Amino acid sequence: MITISVCMIVKNEADKLDTCLKSLVPIADEIIVVDTGSTDSTKEIARGYTDKVSDFVWTGSFSDARNHAFSLASCDYIYSADADEEIDKDNIDKFVALKQVLDNDIDIVQMYYCNQLQNNTIYSFDRELRPKLYKRLRPFIWEETIHEAVRLQPRVYDSDIDIIHRPGEGHGARDLAAFERLIDSGEILSDRLIEIYCKELFIAGDKENYLHAKAFVTELADREGLTDEQVARVFTIGARICRMDNDIPGFIKYVTRAAAGNVMSSELCCELGDYFREVGNDNEAKLWYYNAIHEAEAHLDVRYQEEIPGKFLG
């Protein structure tokens, strides 16, 4: 049977942590809690479950904190938990059974993250697989009897375990502030972070956040080599920024470039629908809301595929 280190980073989680840790006790061989600056009773609650509670000076990077927590683990596998998660009894039973039979050759176990669409999260599904259990030490193994090669891709197992996510509040404002600090410092964002930034802006951003992003999005839209998916997201954000800034020529530029490239998103169709509604052309607005549902796909917020344009079509 494998052993599991539960690793957590926390800050001011006194209202959630006890519920989370109580649910994890049956599957944990050790619990490691790394605190990044709590001013409430978070650490005292954690010490009720483990003596492996330590402080980490916040660097501004969640990866730094998680890497530190992982470095303290000693078991076969590491389960990465957040304080606003909970696993109910049925799924703990599944987890315990998994511990007993998991092939040690598996590098990552994915579990279903549930309750995703609460509090304006950037996720498009209420239940989706997410990597949660990681092999602590991964050996490099040669494969094939001839033309042998080292296996580079991890072996992933998709479990049927559900993890309940109970966010007390959205993290959009916090995350957007972090993105703005990165952009202002000149840090290069990966494609993955650009995607998340666009989603955070679209779902949780206010006018100040959008205008802060204008120079970055303008530069990004002119980059060569963007995929159609990236163009659809970036042009949608650019069009919304221009409408907010009363820059109608800029708005038209993004819309026409998206149309010419056949990358009109459902969100951008809705932007056009909103624009025509504002100028009193309801028939044209309805055409674009119809297109949002039937001629395009959502790239930033799944609600713009049917729910939101459907409100204006009756």
Residue with tokens 């990044």: 36
pTM comes to 0.79
**Per-residue tens of pLDDT for the chain, all 314 residues:** 999 999 999 999 999 999 999 999 999 999 999 999 999 999 999 999 999 999 999 998 999 999 999 999 999 999 999 999 999 999 999 999 999 999 999 999 999 998 755 555 555 556 889 999 999 999 898 889 888 899 999 999 999 999 998 876 667 788 899 999 999 999 889 999 999 999 999 988 999 999 999 999 999 999 988 899 999 999 999 999 999 999 999 999 999 999 998 999 999 999 999 999 999 999 999 999 999 999 999 999 989 999 999 999 87
Cα–Cα dist 217/244, whole Å: 14
- What's 186's DSSP letter? T
Q: Could you give phi then psi for residue 60, rounded to 5 degrees?
A: 95, -5
pLDDT of residue 225: 87
User: Could you tell me what percentage of the chain is helix, strand and coil, using 3-state DSSP and rounding each to the nearest 5?
Assistant: 50, 20, 35
DSSP one-letter string for 86-152: E--HHHHHHHHHHHHH--TT--EEEEEEE-TTGGG-S-S-SEEEEEEEEESS----EE-SSS-EE--
**pLDDT tens-digit profile of 179-228?**
999 999 998 899 999 999 999 999 889 999 999 999 999 999 999 888 99
pLDDT of residue 273: 96
All domains of the chain, ordered by start, with CATH? Answer: 4-165 (3.90.550.10), 172-313 (1.25.40)
Say what percent of the chain tops pLDDT 70: 96
